[in-house]
Chain A
Amino acid sequence: MKKIVLAAFGAALLLGAGAPARAEEPTEILNVSYDIARELYATINPKFIEHWKETSGKEIDIKQSHAGSSKQARAIMQGLKADLVTFNQVLDVQILADKGFVSENWQKDLPNNASPYYSLPAFLVRKDNPKDIKDWDDLVREDVKLVFPNPKTSGNARYTYLAAYAYALEKNGGDDEAAREFVGKLLKNVAVFDTGGRGSTTTFVEREIGDVLITFEAEVENIRTQYGKDDYQRVVPSVSLLAEFPVAVVEKVAKQRGSLDVSKAYLDYLYSKEGQEIIVSFNNRVHNEEVKAANADRFPDVRLVTVEDVFGSWAEAKETHFSDGGVLDQVFNAR
């Protein structure tokens, strides 16, 4: 009997050895973020670390975690110790708020619905735009092959889907049938559905599949910077959907770890002029008037509609379109 207890104790010790030791005051915080924000936060973090040293005199290190933002929200609910989140989906922050991880009024806690920057679904086409893509209508032509991630798993693709739907609704005077038909054709033209935004980029650029990659305008420009401005072109459609990038402090964790102040300071920094300049350099559109004016020539004019305008709310859009058996499933079925 003694041996059993001993063995149990030994094994428990071994298992426990992997558990982390908790520091009283955290020297690092974790920013849990969406898939394609890697380069952005990799640039912001060192600047903020400097800024925090100057303003508070304290050392801080920032860890990053990137994956699909829904997956990230789930991980936080399951115990991933995020001090703050920077997502690309309002819904994914909202579910954290519903579960008590984020303050109930998180959208009011910071300016612009707690979104320090925004973007919109736009198109990336190959050199000289061989298929002559100008607007959403060109994407449903039979000779055009598209690449964008699976709307079921990717927030990025959900924007694309909703933007196309909103465009078709508007064009057909609010006729839902016609809009469904339109997105049906659009989905039919998709060559590969990857699970995340980055997967689609690889498919389009490295594997050279498809004629148009649909992703955030910011990402479109980042890809051009990465792979050659001359080899790819940006096409911004006549109308698109406002894509907000909501941020919030995960108060439940931050309070527990004592990182509330630094986490809040981090988010505030994103709104500062310095922060906004970095953000704009990654081709996101920002609200800071000064920065906006200085970079006006980088961003073509586009008319943006919001999810709230067209679909009522994110929750409604989710229910109608993305739930099991919702419009997206029906459209897929009809393919």
Chain B
Amino acid sequence: MASGTLPSVAEHPQVTAFKRRQKVKRGALVLIALAFSALVMGVPVAAIFARAFQEGVAVYWTNIVEPDTLYAIWLTVLTALIVLPINIVYGVAVAWLITRYRFPGRRVLLTIIELPFSISPIVAGLCYLLIYGGTSVIGSWADEWNIQLMFNLTGIVLVSLFVTCPFVARELIPLMQVSGKDQEEAALTLGATGWQTFRHVTLPNIRWALLYGAILANARVMGEFGAVSVVSGNIRGETMTLPLQVQLLYDDYNATGAFAAATVLTLIAVITLVLRSLIEARHPHRH
């Protein structure tokens, strides 16, 4: 590390003065960073809990176990349960494709994968209405088969897939790029099938990155507001996910209920961050 200096030089008075100055500077920078972070991110989270518990734990609990809120929690979990496996399959497939083969259109595909991140959720919702809504070709065709695509769980799942699909892929691609395909090729040479190779060679290498991406995607699925609000239809106790329920309660003269529901989402966020840093600490994979 920074130990290029020799011991004898370190004791020199000028050096100690230099070190002290460095220490003061360092302290000041750390303090500024901490103060800003607390102000920008810490205080808002504290405010959510303060407001939710303002009227006591009993009122808080009543608000949480309110049937519509419980249903919203369930719907949010259900959405995540459907979206995540699809996202993982897609993420692994696309990462494998991008890192293991060269083919025409590969760079284009790379750009497309990242596209959903740069699109406003509202715009994403609008796009889905235009293509899968009742007035569209696909929407009216599906309607003839009595399949409704928007304003129900299907719609919520579809837009959630859109807003979260880059997470897993963008974690896996750099990692698989770096690790290369020598091991896999070796396994194949030794007679393993494609699936065996993936299961025993590739997966152990990428599982932490996979988990990492899935955790981030999960947080986003559970928290998505803009895109889901466009395609949800706002049916109480049926298509209200937790973030929508927060807004609904907020508009319903029930600010305490809204903040109570918000604490559930905040907890999910905090758990996400804890898991994230645990994985990070055990398996650093920053690129």
Contacts and interface: CB of A to CB of B under 8 A. Distances in A.
Contacts of B154: 15, 18-20
Most buried by B among A17, A66, A78, A206: A78
A196 B154 CA distance: 27
Contacts of A226: 253
Interface in B207-257: 233-238, 248, 250-253, 255
B148 A81 contact: yes
Interface residues of A, number: 34
Interface string B166-204: 000000000000000000000000000000000000000
A19 B236 CA distance: 18
Nearest to A36: B251
A242 interface: no
A217 to B, nearest CB: 17
A42 to B, nearest CB: 9
B165 interface: no
Nearest to B155: A18
A10 to B, nearest CB: 9
B251 A65 contact: no
B133 interface: yes
Interface string A253-267: 000000000000000
Contact of A198 (B133, B233, B252): B252
A79 interface: yes
B46 interface: no
A17 B82 contact: yes
Contacts of A18: 82, 152-154, 157
Interface in A55-89: 63-67, 72, 75, 77-81
A11 interface: yes
Interface of B: 82, 85-86, 129, 133-135, 139, 143, 146-154, 157-158, 233-238, 248, 250-253, 255
Interface of A: 11, 14-20, 22, 30, 35, 38, 63-67, 72, 75, 77-81, 196, 198-199, 201-202, 205-206, 223, 226-227
25 contacts: A14-B86, A15-B157, A16-B147, A17-B82, A19-B149, A19-B152, A20-B148, A20-B152, A30-B235, A35-B251, A63-B236, A63-B238, A64-B235, A65-B236, A78-B134, A79-B134, A79-B148, A79-B149, A81-B148, A81-B151, A198-B251, A201-B253, A202-B253, A205-B253, A206-B255
